[in-house]
Each structure stands twice: as C-alpha cells, then as structure tokens.
Chain A
Amino acid sequence: MLIALPAIAGAQPLVITAPAAPGGGWDQTARAMQRVIIDIEPGANVQVENVPGAAGTIGLARFIQSERGNPHALMVTGLVMVSGVITNGSPVTLSQTTPIARLTGEYEVIVVPASSRFRTLGDLVAAFKSEPGAIAWGGGSAGGTDDLLIRLLADQIGLPASRVNYIAFSGGGAALAAVLGGQLAAAVSGYSEFAGQIAAGQLRVLAVSSPGRVNGIDAPSIRESGIALDLANWRAIVAPPGLSDAEQAALTERMTRMATSAQWQATLERSGWDDLFLAGPEFRQFLLAEQSRIEDVLRRLSTNDQPPRSTLAITMTPMTLPATTALIFTMALALVIAKSMRRQIAINSAGRRMLIAIVFALAILPAVFITIGFIAASTMLFAIVASTLRATRPTARSLIVDVTVGVVFSTILFVVFTRGLGVSLPGPAF
C-alpha cells in the first residue's frame, strides 16, 4: 500500500487505471494485479490510478486521450463498460483501445425463493411468456449484467426486450431481501452474491448463465433448457491506442506471465473469481462479438422504449417526481424571495470583503490543485483565508507567519495521507 516509493532506476512504472472508485470489482482487480506483478517481477513499479465515473466511461475517455502510444499503461475494463458506453452516450468506445487479455469473470445465476412454484427454468419461462408483466425480475442496476441477461433471455424466446418487468436494485445483494421477502418472482445476480442463501436452502437456483455446468453450482445451464444463451460478467485488460506490434506483444506476454503465475491463481481462489483467461486474436474476436450483441439488444430496447402498460391514468416515469420537485421548488423559492424582500439582509463592508476573498480562493483552487500540487495549493488557500479573517489589515510579517503555518500544516497532512493512508495526492515527489 505504501506505493509512493521512488521508482527503481530503469524500471518504468506500469500504471493500471481502475475506471472506478476504490473498493469495487475493477479496483479490486487492478490492485490484485499490482500485488501479483510486484511479487513475480522483483523491482517492478506498479501503480493503480482510480478514475471513477459513469460506468467507467469517464476513465475510458481519459485513458484513450492521455495515454495514447504509452506502452506502460493498462486499464481494467469489463462487460459493464460495453453497455455503459451505449447507455451513457459516450463519445469514445472500447474499440478505440488495444485489447490485451480477458482475465476473470463470474457467471450469473437465476434464483427463486425456496417456496416458489417455479421448479425449473422451463416453468418460469412459460409463465413469463404468457404474461411478461406479471413476472417481476430483480437484480443490479439498469444496463448492468443482471439486466442484460434477462433482456437477452427475452430476446431469445421471442419477447421484445422492452416487455421485461425488470426491477433494478443498487446491487444483487439489495435484490436479495426483495426476493426472500417474496416481492420478486425471480432474482438474477452473480453467484457469490447469493451463495450464502443458496447453501442454506433459502433460494433455489434455476439456471446458470455458463456455456456448460460449473463446478460447485448444482444447477443446469440456460442452454440445457433449450435457450441458446450464455453470459459472463467478465473483466479484462486493455492498453491505449497507438501501440506498435512489438509493444503489444510485450504487454500480452507480461499479462500471460501474470495470469499463469501461482500467485494469481491463489488470488482467484481467494476472491472466488473464475479464471477466464483469453488473450491474442481470440480475445479480440470475443470483444467484438460481445459488443455487437449487447449493442443490438440495447438499441432495440431504446427504439421501442415505452413505459409499461398501466391500468391507471397516472404513470410514473423517471422524470415525474424530479419535474414535480423542480416545479414546487421554484414556487417555494419565489415565495421566499418575495418574503425576504421586506427585510434587508445586512452584511457589513468588512464582511463582504472577507467573503469575496475566500470565494475567490475557493474558485481558483480546483484549477491549481493538480497543476501546482496539494502542498502549494493548500498553503495558498490557508494563507488567503487566514490573512482575510484577521481583524487587522495583513502586514508582511503576518503574511509570512500565515504562509509558514500553512506550509507546515499542509506538509503534515500530505505525508500522513500519502504515506499513512495510501491516498495519492497530486504533489511534488519527495
């Protein structure tokens, strides 16, 4: 974790972009890679950079733009980014990167409560076909793997993907309570999210989304029910665009060495990830095939995207509540302004001067925070605020004192955070 060690002479640092916040699946994959590479290549310098946002598409855009041609940069990606690119209208896509290798993945399971009347996937699909709206499916967020699986399933059995009554939760775990509480007919998620309840006999697995049987999961695949569908929530590694063939081959070689090491296998074991290693032209083809089938189902979904049939005149769309809120807020604001007109709000001139100075410091902070580094930017902020808030006019002497205190304070914070907590902050390397 104490990664801020100086680079060993000669070894170019390898920077792995995790296009997500710390803690998630992509971040965990990047950090696991970091650990294994440092372990098997003594002296290697590997850093993880988190660029979170919008299903990874913010990280993708930055990776393509600023790392072009850099043979020491990698990014973790996965199925969710393929759909995120489409649903978020991202201007860049995964095809602009250089595919290196697929590393891990997890298959999805379709589960029902133990007390459910559905014994097999066939039962469930028959009921789903006869009245699609009556089967409430639950799983993770809209456009995620769980959602995609059910839309692809509907597609395969000849139902329009838009007829699916899919209820999104913040994750498979959150859908768990709803399916155990009997509100959902069935839930979909990665096996590990439901593993505890499956083992305890509270949930019944109807099908697994793998091509064949999976070790340790006592359930048929979807294909065994006569539906030609499999889907894995895979995670892969891509390099920036503009690499030479030799550079590409070197990166592929390095990743292959990592993925076949005993340390990586141990990591997979411990984290419960399936080994789905695939590199070279096969991975390139796999990526293209995934992109085309997911684009297909999502495009068809958006072209006939109608709200579900409702018996009531009032249908709730995603904008109903926000629009109503905005309307009432505007009215309340107008009322408050009208009432406030009658009393004057008093800020004296000294107060106004102080306010303007502090707002100014805050406004330039984002612009300088990355360029001049944390210590310099914080010292500036501290000195402006402190000399503004002094009761007397700042003198050269007081300014020097404020700047000194600011430098000391910022440096202590910088050291504590970068060395102690492993937060990477922009700043001069020591």
Chain B
Amino acid sequence: MGELLHGFAVALTPANLLWGLAGTTLGTAVGVLPGIGPALTVALLLPITYTLDPTAALIMFAGIYYGAMYGGSTTSILLNTPGESATIVTALDGHQMARNGRAGAALATAAIGSFVAGTLATLALSVTAPLMVKLALAFGSPEYFALMVLAFVMVTTMLGDSRLLGWLSLLLGLMLGFVGIDGLSGHARFTLGIPYLLDGIDPVIVAIGLFAVGETLWIASLGPAIDELLPVRGSLWMNKEEWSRSWKPWLRGTAIGFPLGALPAGGAELPTLMSYAIEKRLSKRPEEFGRGAIEAVAGPEAANNASAAGTLVPLLTLGLPTSATAAVLLAAFQQFGLQPGPLLFEHESALVWGVIASLYLGNAMLLILNLPLVGVWVKLLSIPRPWLYGGILVVASLGAFSVHRSAGDLILMAIIGVIGFALRLIDAPVAPVMIGLILGPAADQHLRRALAISQGDWTVFFSRPLSAALLLAALVIAGWGLRRTSAFARSASARQAKIET
C-alpha cells in the first residue's frame, strides 16, 4: 500500500498529470475512429518519445490504451460501426438503444461501467498480480482450446435468433481466419496463390468492412424513405430504472473481464462475449437482448475495460504481451531499457507504481472527459444522413489504409463490406464472424500444439481438470441451445412483416 501511495506521488506531479491527460484524450479520439486503434497510435508515437522521461511516456501510453477502450464504444452505440473487436458486443444492443432514443443512457452506462470496471480492475491489478500469474501459468494449450470451444458454443447459441445462421457466420469467420501462413508449420492455407493473402486477413479490416461498410450498404438498401431512428427521449443520461439495471452487470463484467484479460491468450473478445451470455442467462427479460437491453451494454463494456487492466498483469509480471497494444507497450518498455518481468516490481518500483497510480487517475479523467461528451456525441446523430454515412466511409477507408498502408486492404474492406451486407440481408448475426476470425486460428493452433506436446494423445483434454471442466461447460450450454426450438421460421416471418408494414 505504501508503494501505491508513493506511486500516486509520482503520478500526481503536474507534468505527469498533463501526460496522462494527453494520453487519455488522444486515446479517446483514436478509439472513436474505426481502424486507428491504440496499438497503431502507440507504435507511431514511440520514436518521438525517446527523449521523454520513461515514466511520463509510459503514463501517456497507458492513458492511450485506457482511453481507446472508452472511445471505442461511442461509434458502436451511435452508428453500429465498432472500429475494433473489443466493442463488437457493445454494438449489438447499444445501437438498438440508440435507435429507441436512449443513446445517451447507453453512452452513460458504457462510460460509468468502464470507470467502475477500470478502477476495480486496477485495484485488483495492484493486489492480486502474483495470484493471477499462477492462474495464467496453469493455462496450457489444452485449456485454451477448451476455452475457445466454449466460446464458439456460446456465440452460436446466444447471438441472433437462429442457430443455423449463427453457425453460418461463425464458420465464415473461421474460414477467413485460416487464410494465410500457418504459424505452426509455415504452410500457406487458403491463399489462392495471392501473395497479399500470405499474411492472413487482418481482423481490423474485417471489422471495418463488416460493420462500417456493411451498415452503410444496409442503410442504402432500405431506400430514401425509411429512417427508423427515434429522437432522444427522456433524460439525456440514465434514469432510475436504468441505473438499477446497470450496476450488477458492471460488477459481473469486471469479475469476468479481469481474470480472462490476465490469461496469456486473453484479449477482449472472450470476456465481452461471456459477459453478454451471462447477462442474458441471468436476466428476467432475456427476450429484450438484441433489442436494446441496457444490461447487454453495461456488462460487456465493463468486461472490456477490466480485461484491458488484466492484460497488464502478464505484461508487467511476465513480460508477456497478450494483445497487439500490449506488444507495443512491451516495445516501449524495452526502448527505455526496462525489462518487464518478475524483477520489474523490485527494480523499478517507483515507475511501476507510478504507472499503476496513473491508471486510477486516468480512469477518473476519462469519466470526467466522457460524461459531458455524451451530449456532444448524441448530436452526431443529427448530422444529415447522407453526410454522416459519407463521412463514415471516408474514415473507414482511411483507417483500413493506414493499418498497413496497402491499397489491397481497401479491396478487402469492400469485399467484406458486401459480405456483411449479405449477412444482414438474410438476418444472420454478424458478430460470430469476428469471433471465428480471431479465435479460430488460435483454437486450431492450441489444438495442434496440445497434441504435439502430448505426442498425439487426445486424452490430454480430459485428464487435465481445468480443460475437462471447460469442455463440460461447453457441453451443458450446447444442451440448453438444443432445447430451444429453431427460431429460424419465426424470425423469417417477423422480417416479412417488417417489410410489409
């Protein structure tokens, strides 16, 4: 505790506060723009920070990381165009809330949920880091594979109205994910002899294509007459009922997000998805999910921010980056001659606790920065529709291009956009594509890695207790799914009715 107080003394110097503010502001801005994520921003800023004091630079980078997690939800909710995979789940119900005139409440619950989760998870980071390391090391390839099977089952049973369509999207994502050089063997898979495809398909480009471009095409296909967006009604922020429906999901989201983020192969996709699934399971009104349930925004947003703090556990204690941003942060540490690992806390105590303390302050700054912005963001919706979607496509293509500076990415973005439109046309959920794309190759690698280590012995998945438990959970959830009657016909007739009216 004394160390943490000392950390606050470091973080509260005026210069460091200013760097923290610069980082969180910049982070919020890049989070709002699709494609320009925190990883790219930090990578581009690295060279100009050589001359800075390491503590100041790392405080700014951490601010960018947290800020981007806040900003990412804004476009998801307002425009149904998440720019990064961490906020895809937020878009599901968040955008429906915006359509129902509750955009302000959705943004507020996302911001406050992010604050609650960020603060609690930072607290957990400062207290439980050594414990988390033990958990992380208990996870081997069999456990990761089992965890991903669980995620696939959840995605297909929880999202959308039809299991068949959910599977279709998931399988499409898996196929896209397998494209490129296989990391384990070096074999080229599904590359059709095109050199561009050797590196695989970047999830950022797919997210932009599926959501920003797909949504624009969908809006266009509805023709000029239809505009279902309701004006903001009720209080701008959350009302009493929305508060009482939000706070439990915030806490549950934090509890899910932090440990999953701390796993060496965590990422933000699994925790947000699991939070959604659990909220839907616990809700008294599961039928509202997918139509604007505030729990489905509050939970995943909290999980998303808690996992960002969780990611710092393996980074600081093992020197192990588990996300693109963490990998760039690791490069930043090394640039300053610091080696994250078991000895970092001992050797660089002032710096580490300074950065952790700045995370608390960063969260507070972000809340202060973002709550007043809710009103400004909501005004985005009153921009004339032609300009709004013209602007979205311009920013989307800018984002897609600047990831690799490749015109090939623009072609891919357009193709994926048309696919995203086709999926919307047949009422298929779009999120499973992203889950398959990101987790599919990882599941394949962990499966083969586990078998290589066990020398071809398949019982390894059942003889390790953690792996067996996760597979059992997947089986149970698949069982629930089977009990539900296929809703395909129902959803089809619902759509028919929508068109006729």
Contacts and interface: CB of A to CB of B under 8 A. Distances in A.
Contacts of A1: 44-45, 47-48
A389 B41 CA distance: 33
Given A359-B217, A369-B410, A389-B219, A23 B43 contact: yes
Interface stretch (A67-75, A175-183, A217-225, A274-282): A175-183
Contact of B404 (A52, A316, A410): A52
B393 A381 contact: yes
B89 interface: no
Contacts of A355: 217, 220-221, 421
A176 B394 contact: no
A335 interface: yes
B402 A322 contact: no
Interface string B393-429: 1110110011111111011011001100100011010
B390 A382 contact: yes
Contact of B401 (A181, A193, A362, A425): A425
A42 interface: no
A325 interface: yes
Given A141-B183, A348-B223, A366 B410 contact: yes
Contact of B343 (A53, A199, A332): A199
Nearest to A327: B171
Nearest to B182: A318
Interface in B137-180: 137-141, 164-165, 167-168, 171-172, 174-175, 178
Interface residues of A, number: 120
Contacts of B220: 351, 354-355, 357-358, 388-389
A4 interface: no
Given A196-B344, A197-B341, A352-B221, A270 B393 contact: no
A381 B402 contact: no
Interface string A330-352: 00110110011011011110111
Given A413-B398, A423-B402, A195 B456 contact: no
A413 B394 contact: yes
A35 B450 CA distance: 44
B488 interface: yes
Interface stretch (A96-104, A285-293, A305-313): A305-313
A78 interface: no
A259 B133 CA distance: 41
Contacts of A351: 220-223
Interface stretch (B232-240, B285-293, B327-335, B370-378): B327-335
Interface string B323-350: 0000110110011110111111000000
B-side interface mostly: helix
Contacts of B183: 141-142, 168-170
A160 interface: no
Given A177-B136, A423-B402, A409 B391 contact: yes
B319 A173 contact: yes
Interface string B221-234: 11111000000000
Contact of A386 (B167, B217, B390): B390
B197 to A, nearest CB: 9
A408 to B, nearest CB: 11
B72 to A, nearest CB: 17
B448 A319 contact: no
A378 interface: yes
A329 B223 contact: no
Nearest to B452: A167
B318 A177 contact: yes
B3 interface: no
Given A143-B186, A382-B390, A409-B391, A58 B195 contact: yes
A402 B174 CA distance: 40
B387 interface: yes
Nearest to A91: B195
A183 B453 contact: yes
B184 A336 contact: no
Contact of A183 (B140, B187, B189, B421): B140
A192 B339 contact: yes
Contacts of B141: 178, 183
A336 B165 contact: yes
A365 B213 CA distance: 13
Interface of A is mostly: helix
B390 A383 contact: yes
A23 B327 contact: yes
A336 to B, nearest CB: 6
Interface string A54-76: 10011001000000000000000
A185 to B, nearest CB: 9
Nearest to A391: B224
A146 B318 CA distance: 20
Interface string A114-129: 0000000000000000
Nearest to A305: B185
A200 interface: yes
Nearest to B409: A366
Given A325-B174, A336-B164, A369 B186 contact: no
A354 B223 contact: yes
B23 interface: no
A389 B383 CA distance: 13
Contacts of B395: 413
A155 B50 CA distance: 42
Contacts of A43: none
A155 B219 CA distance: 61
B190 interface: yes
A271 interface: yes
Interface string A72-112: 00000000000000011000000000000000000000000
Interface string B297-322: 00000000000000000100011110
B199 A176 contact: no
Contacts of A310: 455-456
18 contacts: A28-B46, A51-B405, A52-B406, A54-B181, A88-B195, A165-B455, A176-B318, A196-B319, A197-B341, A200-B342, A271-B337, A315-B456, A351-B223, A355-B221, A359-B217, A378-B398, A385-B389, A423-B402
Pairs A-B, 10 closest by C-beta atoms: A196-B341, A310-B456, A23-B43, A142-B186, A389-B386, A354-B220, A391-B224, A200-B342, A386-B390, A329-B171
Given A31-B47, A199-B341, 8 more contacts: A34-B47, A178-B141, A183-B141, A199-B339, A199-B343, A329-B174, A352-B221, A362-B213
Interface of B: 36, 39-41, 43-48, 50, 136-141, 164-165, 167-168, 171-172, 174-175, 178, 181-190, 195-196, 198-199, 213, 216-217, 219-225, 264-265, 314, 318-321, 327-328, 330-331, 334-337, 339-344, 385-387, 389-391, 393-395, 397-398, 401-408, 410-411, 413-414, 417-418, 421, 425-426, 428, 440, 444, 447-449, 451-453, 455-458, 488, 492, 495-496, 499
